[in-house]
């Protein structure tokens, strides 16, 4: 019978090797995307940046976000955090004391290929505690595994911009 330590070492070695292979495989899949697309992104072709921006404004406003203008070349949208998000980022005490938490999304429209008129629409989301307070505002970037709802928003933008124009 093998001692427990030898079995544990063998299993831990294989687990580490599989984990490393998964990380490397995932990294290779996104090599053709801009760094900003590592959270959520779509490619939109045959539409102008202005059309993409209008569709983005529409989709985000329909989903409870307010446009906050532009910041560093990105469109900025914010919404109030849900109760769960408030507890997650402000903590139980902060949530109980009414600490304000917003979810801020920075959306970029980047030229993917000038010859084919295609653009990357990418976003990154942040939890912002005490928004608008210069000294106390803290920003926490959301992780990649939290990107699902934001990917769905970008997919909706792509679907919206590609709808045929309605003529009266």
Report the pLDDT value the prediction gives residue 96, as an integer from 0 to 100: 82
Confidence of residue 25 (pLDDT cuts 50, 70, 90): very low
Evaluate if residue 168 carries a pLDDT over 50.
yes
CA distance 136 to 71: 20
Evaluate if residue 108 carries a pLDDT over 80.
yes
Give the C-alpha distances (Å, rounded to integers) separating 6 from 11, 28, 156: 9, 33, 52
- Mean pLDDT within 73-92: 94
34-161 placed in CATH 3.30.530 = yes
Evaluate if residue 166 carries a pLDDT over 60.
no
135 three-class SS? coil
Comparing CA positions, the residue from 76, 123, 126, 124 lying closest to residue 101 is: 126
Per-residue pLDDT tens for 89-103?
A: 998 888 888 889 999
More confident residue, 114 or 13: 114
- Mean pLDDT within 17-41: 56
Confidence of residue 20 (pLDDT cuts 50, 70, 90): very low
Per-residue pLDDT tens for 116-150?
A: 889 999 999 999 999 988 898 999 999 999 999 99
Supply the pTM of this predicted model: 0.76
- The pair phi, psi for residue 114, each rounded to 5°, is -60, -30
């Amino acid at each position: 019978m093998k001692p427990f330590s030898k079995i544990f070492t063998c299993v831990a070695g294989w687990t580490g090797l599989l984990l490393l292979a998964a990380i490397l495989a995932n990294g290779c899949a996104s090599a053709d995307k801009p760094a900003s697309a590592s959270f959520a992104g779509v490619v939109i072709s045959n539409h102008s940046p202005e059309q993409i921006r209008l569709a983005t404004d529409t989709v985000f406003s329909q989903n409870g976000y307010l446009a906050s203008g532009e910041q560093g070349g990105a469109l900025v949208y914010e919404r109030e955090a849900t109760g769960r998000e408030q507890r997650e980022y402000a903590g139980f005490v902060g949530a109980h004391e009414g600490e304000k938490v917003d979810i801020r999304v920075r959306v970029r429209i980047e030229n993917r290929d000038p010859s084919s008129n295609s653009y990357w629409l990418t976003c990154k989301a942040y939890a912002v505690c005490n928004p608008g307070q210069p000294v106390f505002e803290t920003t926490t970037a959301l992780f990649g595994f939290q990107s699902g709802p934001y990917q769905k928003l970008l997919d909706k933008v792509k679907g919206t911009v590609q709808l045929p124009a309605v003529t009266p």
